[in-house]
Amino acid sequence: MKACVLNSYNQFDWMEVQDPSIKNDEVLIRTSFASICGSDQHIFSGEFHPRTQLPLIPGHEFAGRIIETGADVRNFSPGDRVAIDPIIWCGKCPACEIHHYPACTSLRLLGVDLHGGFGEYVVARPNMLYKLTPNITDQQGALVEVLGIGFHACNRAGIKPGDSVAIWGTGKVGHCILQAVKTKTDGQVFLIDLIDERLQKARKGYPDVTTINPLREDPLAVIREKTNGRGVDVAFEAAGHDTSGGATLNPVRGCIQVIRGAGKLCVLGLGDDPAPILFKELIWKEANIIASRVSHGEFSEVIKHLDQGNLKPDLLVSDVFTADQVQEAFELLETSPEKHLKILLSFQDL
């Protein structure tokens, strides 16, 4: 088969590799579309070294069609279109013992710790597969995983109907949180980002949200005014770091300041720098900080909402490249991140 192989950091090659083969409890999938994740960009540039072992076929957000099933596989047949949950948990650690799989201390992902979906074929186990309904296109199937991140964050934060929400950072993850939030509450939603293009994109899909660029407006003042001094029920931190170089409020501290008393802060941004938290701001509110990582069974919830037309997956896609253009796609994401949310790689008709 052919695959996008990361042979050295910053260098993909579209090349012939050995065909994968399946065991009795596995299925072979022909990839249709894969989506490029922020984590893939970190893998590409070497920031995941030494966790990532090269050469690697990345790809943990993808969909495809089953072409072969092992002798012991039930419930799936060749021809089924599926989205693939890339998570493999150990089943033995203290988190796994209480079925809290996203916190598995030996968590492995297809496309990060072993070869993933950036190839024409990929092997997976049936417990990782979710059937797509006829209403869901192959392209949309490749977005189930990342939309699941948004739903998992909402479920971790316990979003209820009527809740008001602030989302700090409207890149890929922040945007998926927005889509999930809008299925769960009709309360006020505030989006905070330094990049106007991203805020515009969100407003295009959801005209009723309030967008705030901290380079021009104080998020705290705007949210206070629009909530009559109350603050929001839940704030999501999906920025990861302060890219203004200290010119604006740090995202984590901002989230603490904009929630109401006894509100919740859900953190997802994977920044490397410590966040400047003033604990008394948190203590006075007796607020909760909740962390959210990957997803845990939210694939079914996403597929239900995609099937019913409750999400706007196409809003996430800024471009589709054929898989042999993988190097070009990654370079584009590096050089003009403000213009792009998701770039999809097509493995069809190659």
Binding site residues, Zn ion, CB under 5 A = 37, 39, 89-90, 93, 96, 104
Q: From its phi and psi, is residue 229 left (phi > 0), alpha (psi between -120 and 50) or beta?
A: left
In 3D, which of 146, 159, 174, 317 has the Cα closest to residue 239?
174
Q: Which is nearer to Zn ion, 219 or 313 (CB)?
A: 313
Instruction: Go through the chain and tell me how many residues it has.
Output: 350
The least distance separating Zn ion from the CB of residue 158, rounded to whole angstroms, comes to 23
Q: How far apart are the first and last CA of the chain?
A: 11
Name the DSSP letter for residue 28: E
Nearest Cα neighbor of 273 from 235, 236, 242, 238 is 242
What are the residues facing 4 on neighbouring strands? 14
**Spatial contact of 305 and 328, defined as CB atoms under 8 Å apart:** no
Instruction: Find the shortest distance in angstroms from Cβ 268 to Zn ion.
Output: 11
Query: Least distance from C-beta 162 to Zn ion, angstroms?
Result: 30
142/265 with CB nearer Zn ion: 142
What is each CA distance from 5 to 57, 190, 334, in whole angstroms?
5, 40, 18
Of 37 and 153, nearer to Zn ion (C-beta) is: 37
Give whichever of 57 and 287 is closer to Zn ion, judged by the CB atom: 57
The least CB distance from residue 103 to Zn ion, in Å, is: 8
| Nearest alpha-carbon partner for 287 in 214, 221, 237, 219 | 237
d(CA 65, CA 43): 26
Closest-CA residue to 58 (of 12, 123, 102): 12
CB of 145 to Zn ion, least distance (A): 6
Nearer to Zn ion, 83 or 104 (CB): 104
CB of 190 to Zn ion, least distance (A): 25
Closer residue to Zn ion in complex, CB, 172/184? 172
